[in-house]
Structure 1
Amino acid sequence: MTTESLPRTPAELGLPEFPVEAGPEDPAVHHVRAKLDREIRALLAYEVGTRSGADPEDLHQMRVALRRMRSVLKLSGGLVGDGAEPVRAELGWLGQSLGEVRDYDVLIEHLREVIADFEVRDQPAGHRLVSRFVAERAAAKRRLTRALSSARYSTLLREVSLLIRDQEAAAEVAEESHDLVAGLAKPHRKLTKAVRALPADPPDDDLHDLRIHGKKLRYAAELAQTSAKKKRSKRIKTLIRATRDFQTVLGDHQDAVVAAERMRTVLETADGEVGFVAGRIAERERVRRAEARAVWRESWAAVDAAAKALHA
């Protein structure tokens, strides 16, 4: 399948001219369909920039749209029909390709910022270090471009649009009671359980898993906010803000862990000058990791308080 034959606009996917809307009085299924509609439109809008690579933010936003769709389908996919889980799995396939390139973008941008603060005499070695990751990123980008040009991707887009357009499936559950705000209790419980299971000095991987739990709660809150009336909507907004801060802290921690590990890998084969720069960066990442570990429980407390306030 050629790029030209891929669906490139909402209209080509059979979606309505204007985005699907849902308000507090609408049933939960309408909110799920509206959320999927918004995110598939965002994904299509950022695809062009993702392909060109002119601005890494396009790829980032495309990935965010995809992850939001996956989260919605995980939490409430049953409302839009039996096809939700297969679609969620296929979104995961695409997410792997997007995530690989995004991880390089984050690493490269951070390394360039760090190296810019080094002495002038060390910067050429720093640039040689970064060039390694630029080359690896280019290979990952080629793999992503192939994925975006594939029949599999085209099929995925059409399957998402079918979930949005399937009025018959939506009608079957429209009269059932599904409280999206009450549904926030489940991801909050999972996050709480994960926090309580951690030792005083958690392993890096456990904190990364915690960030994923927090992201699921945030995306669930974003969906629930559209169905909530004014008072609850305001409280959900507080929860969204708290989970965003929580993700930022743990995201900084994970970025530091990854960057330090990359530098250790570089040290295995680097020449003296590049190795010296890599060692300096690894030490900086160790400090950044420690800073995030010092404050993550405080940010978690804000999330917990905001979630509990919803049901007070």
Structure 2
Amino acid sequence: NGLREDLRWLGSGLGSVRDRQVMAQRVRSRSSALAEDDAPTLADLAAELQAESEEARGRLVLDMRSDRYIDLVERLVEASRAPALTADAQPRAELVLAGLARRDWRQLRKGVAALPDQPADAELHRIRILAKRVRYAAEAAEPIAGKIAARTADAAAALQDVLGDHQDSVTAQQWLREAGKGARAFVAGELTALERAVAARDRDAWHNAWKKLERKRLRRWMI
């Protein structure tokens, strides 16, 4: 539990840098959709995101120089040398991997089934996390289950990508609402509208990605 907590701590710092880098790239990529007169404001918003990214990176560097980080690395090395195995590690891999992957698959299927007709952004974000777990489980099982597990991993990755883009759009909209005030309000509003269109597209697309992952032939190896 302590190891997981510290990994979440490190992941939070990495995510803060990554989110701002992605948002800056998204803002710059919208230049062709805006009027030429909006270019200075667009550049100003991108520069602010870049500055926030550098600040987040500075905090991350300090974290990675801390005793907590050094201790985390040492514990990860030790865990790789002497992993704490459960009883499931005793039987042969082909006897347990399918069951472990099936557990992650069922959690994803249950999560999708529980969604309302118009799921909240946070609910779709949760589905992305569950899809990522299915992907990792399938990738781990590929040496045993073969190409069918690889195809399952690819389908899970496709679902993860669509929902990841949706989450990036949601995050960008939230930032633009905060940063787009005063003289920047109009351009920030235009960018927010573009991001809403992207999010709407992803909301339509994720269903198809899920249907491809849900195909029975991609799940036979987990039975």
Q: TM-score, normalised by structure 1?
A: 0.66
Cα deviation, residue 89, structure 1:
2.2
Q: How many angstroms apart in 2 are the aligned matches of 1:138 and 1:253? A: 24
1:174 Cα offset (Å): 5.5
Q: Which has the higher helix share?
A: 2
Q: 2:174 aligns with which of 249, 252, 261?
A: 261
Q: Are residues 1:210 and 2:127 paired?
A: yes
* Counterpart check, 1:97 vs 2:13: yes
Which among 106, 124, 133 is matched to residue 40 of structure 2? Answer: 124
Instruction: Determine if the alignment matches structure 1 residue 244 to structure 2 residue 157.
Output: yes
Question: What is the CA distance between 1:115 and its match in structure 2?
Answer: 2.2
Superposed CA RMSD = 2.1
Q: 2:213 aligns with which of 277, 284, 303?
A: 303
Please give the alpha-carbon distance, in whole angstroms, between the structure 1 residues aligned to 2:38 and 2:140: 48
Q: Distance in 2 between matches of 1:173 and 1:244?
A: 26
Q: Which residue of 2 aligns with 1:40?
A: none
Partner of 1:284: 194
Q: 1:270 aligns with which of 179, 182, 191?
A: 182
Asked if the contact 1:259–1:285 (Cα under 8 Å) also holds between the matched residues in 2, the reply is yes
Alignment-derived partner of residue 193 in structure 1: 110
Letter matched to residue 40 of structure 2: P
Question: 2:78 and 2:32 mapped to 1: Cα distance?
Answer: 48
Which residue, out of 183, 187, 191, partners 2:100?
183
Give distance in 2, aligned partners of 1:195 and 1:173: 28
Contact 1:111-1:130 at 8 Å conserved across structures: yes
Q: 1:51-97, CA deviations, whole angstroms, 9 ceiling, x for partnerless residues?
A: xxxxxxxxxxxxxxxxxxxxxxxxxxxxxxxxxx3322221111111
Closer, same or farther: CA 173–302 of 1 in aligned 2, 3 Å: closer
Instruction: Give the percent of matched residue pairs that are identical in Structure 1 and Structure 2.
Output: 32
Deviation for aligned residue 1:219: 1.2
1:158 match: 74
How many angstroms does 1:129 deviate by?
A: 1.5
Offset at residue 173 of structure 1 (A): 7.4
Query: Which consecutive residues of structure 1, in runs of 5 or more, have no partner in the other structure?
Result: 1-84
Q: Structure 2 length as normaliser, TM-score?
A: 0.90
